[in-house]
Amino acid sequence: MSRLPTLTLYTRAGCHLCEQAEEGLRALDYRYEAVDVDGDLALKARYGDDVPVLALGERVLLKGVLGKGRLSALKLQLLREAGAGRG
């Protein structure tokens, strides 16, 4: 099976939606790096109150409520894209 790319989860401390997103990402075996937007003025300005935001490089994949259904659908999409890129 194709490996998923490492994604970036933009988050902030005390955000219950961010915590829910991390739980879903772990449950679905995503590889990701969590980045606190409040530690960087540019990120805070860019994402503001939109966290959690899941991104692949500069490409925003999802934001808002990241439940297991949305994360599962995204995982299938990313696996298809990875497979298409090899062909």
Range name among 1-5, 10-14, 30-34 with the lowest pLDDT average:
1-5
Per-residue b or e along 18-51, where b marks 16 or more CB atoms closer than 10 Å to that residue's CB: beebbebbeeeebebeebbbeeeeebbeebeeeb
Give residue 1's pLDDT: 42
14-48 residue pLDDT tens: 999 999 999 999 999 999 999 999 999 999 999 98
For residue 86, what pLDDT is reported? Answer: 67
- The mean pLDDT of the chain is 92
Provide the pLDDT confidence category of residue 76 given band limits of 50, 70 and 90.
very high
Nearest to 64 by CA among 13, 15, 14, 31: 15
Q: What percent of the chain has pLDDT over 90?
A: 85
Report whether pLDDT(2) > 60. no
